[in-house]
Amino acid sequence: MPRARKKQPVPSATVPRLSQYLRQLQELQARGTSTISSRQLAEAVGTNPAQIRKDLSYFGEFGIRGVGYEVEHLINELKKCLGLDRAWDTIIIGAGKLGTALARYRGFGKQGFHLMAMFDTSKAVIGKNRGAGPVLSTSDLEKYIRRHHVDIAIVTTPAAVAQTIIDRAVAAGVPSVLNFAPIRAQAKKPAIVRQVDLSTELMTLSYYLKNR
């Protein structure tokens, strides 16, 4: 019996690139493209064909020699790789401007993220519709998480309360957090925290602007 090939670890830089390939392929599909070479895909995303072949090689053999990739097939395979072949139940904690902008972000539902509820502490906001039905009170967070299934908590609270909110969500059973608050948030394993850090982006831009 042949032994299953041992999986190579996927480099962390590969994963965001897969999402770029996926988005580009979806655009190409919307414009009617059904097959594409790795060279064409590389041009469209601004990389080189070898990079694309390497990135895809961690997940299997998707190309056909002399033809390239079937766009629809590769889209489906990339969605599987990225876990986008299912819907992730998502909540947003913090229904301010940023939370509301995210709730109304078009790409959200399109890629399989199912926004279930939003939470806030402000009486002026609770009960209002900010993009996902009436905003719930943050004091009901644990109760909600225990009763419903939540895969992802997006945190857009002020910095001062973000870590406490993340601790509460994770303790109640949320396995992953996307944090927008400008703190270096942490969570006990196996929970996953990813950080979107606007101030780091601005400072990094400043660095390159200065050293232009």
Measured from the CB atom, is 68 or 99 closer to a copy of itself?
Answer: 99
Token representation of residue 194: 């990813």
Asked if 155 and 141 touch (Cβ cutoff 8 Å), the reply is no
Q: Is 164 in the site for a copy of itself (CB under 8 A)?
A: no
DSSP secondary structure letters along 118-166:
EEES-TTTTTSBSSSSBPEEGGGHHHHHHHS--SEEEE-S-HHHHHHHH
CB of 65 to a copy of itself, least distance (A): 28
Over the window 18 to 37, marking each residue x when it contacts a copy of itself by CB under 8 A and - when it does not, the resulting string is xxx-xxx-------------
Q: Is 122 in the site for a copy of itself (CB under 8 A)?
A: no
Q: Of 64, 71, 39, which is closest to residue 52 (Cα–Cα)?
A: 39
Q: Is 182 in the site for a copy of itself (CB under 8 A)?
A: yes
**CA-to-CA dists, residue 40 to 17, 55, 106, 137, 204, angstroms:** 16, 16, 27, 49, 31
Token representation of residue 209: 């602007």
Q: Is 102 in the site for a copy of itself (CB under 8 A)?
A: yes
Q: Is 203 in the site for a copy of itself (CB under 8 A)?
A: yes
Residues 6+ apart with CB under 8 A from 143: none
CB of 179 to a copy of itself, least distance (A): 10
- Whole-number Å distance between alpha carbons of 41 and 69: 9
Measured from the CB atom, is 67 or 202 closer to a copy of itself?
Answer: 202
**DSSP H or E run through 185:** none
Stretch that binds a copy of itself, among 66-74, 139-147, 162-170, 189-197 (CB under 8 A): 189-197
* Number of shown-chain residues binding a copy of itself (CB under 8 A): 56
Given the rule CB under 8 A, which residues bind a copy of itself? 15-16, 18-20, 22-24, 45-46, 81-84, 88, 96-98, 100-102, 104-105, 107-108, 111-113, 151-152, 175-176, 178, 182, 184, 186, 190, 192, 194, 196-212
